[in-house]
Homo-oligomer: A and B are copies of this chain.
């Protein structure tokens, strides 16, 4: 019995007997010789078998076995999972890794149906129907290995600085941010429960609980009927919240350090593969990231010849792209904090600067796309309640949240960041669907 060897480890082995497990990517069934490309989670290897097309009536058991093996290979469907044994041989002429395995045995774990329903270039929606096959592509596998490394780097950064990891509830008795785009469900026949749109209230609760610095990476839900490439009804949100800050600047400087560390970790571990499979040079951002107040950003966009049609003073997607171009040209940077948003376009709980009246908040853009909103929170309960009223929210529905501020709370702030948006931009993908394990949208609940 040979122990299973991962494909990426084959190059470290001396020529000799090996066992490899994976799935059939392609079969080239030539008259005299058969080639199979077998892939596992670490790479692909060429298997080779000299074909035995017929044997005489008086064939030896070896010859009969050879015939069987040949026929089994001829009948292999793409996607079939199997374990093979054979003889590893380094051969520089083999394009795929400079080695191949000459087969001696083959055991099928589960045969695939003969017709694979999608190809790598099938339409996106069709690929989403068969996401488990789509994910077999080496590019997609890499995306989720990078996701793993990225998240672990974020958590490691935080944990080395004594942050506490929380898991806030997703079932709530009332809305977390606004009453719009809420999923509601019947809760034991008596109450209505809502699915959390963000962990906002609960991560602020941790400040009131004296946790100091916390983070959460978890699911949030939005009953958002839009079909854009950046929206989903369910997604992974990366959140942090810290106490005893002086302003949103403390949050921004934590976030830029965090991202620089995480991107460095990803570049070190996967930079070469990202280059190979996506032809992208992953840029590790320098700190500090550039900062531009929103009003100034609008002027910059205007000076570049684009008039933002929005009337609320915020950037639109084209404005964001213009700011990215400006930042890239001026600072050679892919990230920018846009700061000092008007309260009208911010959540009620953002703290306002006493002099300017603007919120102590920022959006972080990566390659011209918003990936984060961050802010100092208003922690003075009377001010918070007044700001809620001003937004037309009923403080009675917010009472459980306002309680967090009535029994003492430190000044605090934090940010929320969409995992899929970061990955989409990192890989130059056009949609978060391509970097989400199983996308959920208005018309997408399965598989």
A residues with CB within 8 A of B: 4, 21-24, 39-42, 77, 79-81, 83, 109-113, 116-117, 130-133, 135-136, 141, 144-145, 147-149, 151-152, 155-156, 159, 162-174, 183-188, 191, 193, 195, 202, 205-206, 208-213, 218-219, 221, 223, 225, 233-234, 236, 243-244, 379-381, 400-401, 403-411, 419, 437-438, 440, 442-443, 445-447
Contacts and interface: CB of A to CB of B under 8 A. Distances in A.
B151 A437 contact: no
A191 B183 CA distance: 13
A158 to B, nearest CB: 9
Contact of A403 (B83, B172, B447): B447
Given A41-B212, A183-B187, 5 more contacts: A77-B408, A135-B209, A185-B195, A206-B437, A404-B447
Contacts of A191: 445
Nearest to A113: B406
Given A135-B210, A136-B210, A447 B205 contact: yes
A263 B186 CA distance: 39
B218 A219 contact: yes
13 contacts: A21-B244, A23-B408, A40-B212, A110-B380, A113-B406, A135-B206, A136-B210, A147-B164, A148-B164, A152-B165, A169-B234, A185-B195, A193-B445
A220 to B, nearest CB: 10
A272 B256 CA distance: 35
A40 B210 contact: yes
B210 A22 contact: yes
User: Which of A40, A170, A446 is the most central at the interface, judged by chain B CB atoms within 10 Å of its CB?
Assistant: A446
A372 to B, nearest CB: 18
Contact of A170 (B83, B170, B202, B211): B170
Nearest to A419: B167
Nearest to A209: B135
B112 A407 contact: yes
A39 B209 CA distance: 11
Nearest to A25: B210
A322 to B, nearest CB: 33
B172 A410 contact: no
Contacts of A183: 185, 187, 193
A397 to B, nearest CB: 11
Given A41-B211, A205-B132, A445 B244 contact: no
A81 B410 contact: yes
A156 to B, nearest CB: 8
Contact of A144 (B151, B164, B407): B164
A407 B234 contact: no
Contacts of A186: 184
Given A41-B210, A210-B41, A225-B188, A437 B167 contact: yes
A151 B163 CA distance: 13
A156 B170 CA distance: 26
